[in-house]
Amino acid sequence: EVQLLESGGGLVQPGGSLRLSCAASGFTFITNVMTWVRQAPGKGLEWVSGISGSGHSTYYADSVKGRFTISRDNSKNTLYLQMNSLRAEDTAVYYCAKAVAVDYMDVWGKGTTVTVSS
Amino acid sequence: DIQMTQSPSTLSASVGDRVTITCRASQGISSALAWYQQKPGKAPKLLIYKASSLESGVPSRFSGSGSGTEFTLTISSLQPDDFATYYCQQYNSYTWTFGQGTKVEIK
């Protein structure tokens, strides 16, 4: 069964850091583009970041560029999102999602909640 | 950046109704469009990809059409399980943009 399981969310103060992880199973991880998508409370979906299968190419939404870093460890089938300089507006549920080629997202994790508050 | 605009934002309908949601792209995206369904507290679920291809396991009452800048998602006969929020999404060269969502409510 194809599965994605996020972890690492929690409460952090403004300006703080957090690292999210996404453990993948049931598919050949290294061949897939992976992404992070977030959803603020009561709001819509927002794409955050994407990474190629090799990890050599990374992409970011303007709202997180320079503060967030996406990476992957293909030996551990795990995707990461390092989040620095966190702001209140980064409060959201963060989902990892597997992309088909560089296209749509066919498998989603259940999400992990990040709350940025003092 | 490509912007996606959905209409309406909220839609009230009854079981058995035919429902249509529209998504417009700020520039042409060919058929690089997907539709997702999301229920409260749950992850999004892929319904349609490449504008009109039905994801495996999705009921045939869901269909998608369009290309270029204008797209539609149609539910031919709304079922109780279909009350949810629907999002369109464009995918283009390693950037992804979602529409703001359409909430389908019980009338």
Distances in whole angstroms, Cα of residue A73 to Cα of each of B6, B48, B92: 37, 30, 25
pLDDT tens per residue across span B4-17: 999 999 999 999 99
Q: pLDDT truncated to tens, each residue of chain B (107 aa)? A: 899 999 999 999 999 999 999 999 999 999 999 999 999 999 999 999 999 999 999 999 999 999 999 999 999 999 999 999 999 999 987 889 999 999 999 88
Whether A113 has its CB under 8 Å from any CB of chain B: the answer is no
> What pLDDT score does B93 carry?
72
Amino acid at B63: S
**Closest Cβ opposite residue B91 in set A44, A103, A108:** A103
Distances in whole angstroms, Cα of residue B70 to Cα of each of B24, B89, B90: 5, 12, 11
Give chain A's mean pLDDT.
97
**Closest Cβ opposite residue B89 in set A59, A102, A104:** A104
Contact check, Cβ <8 Å, B45/A108 = yes
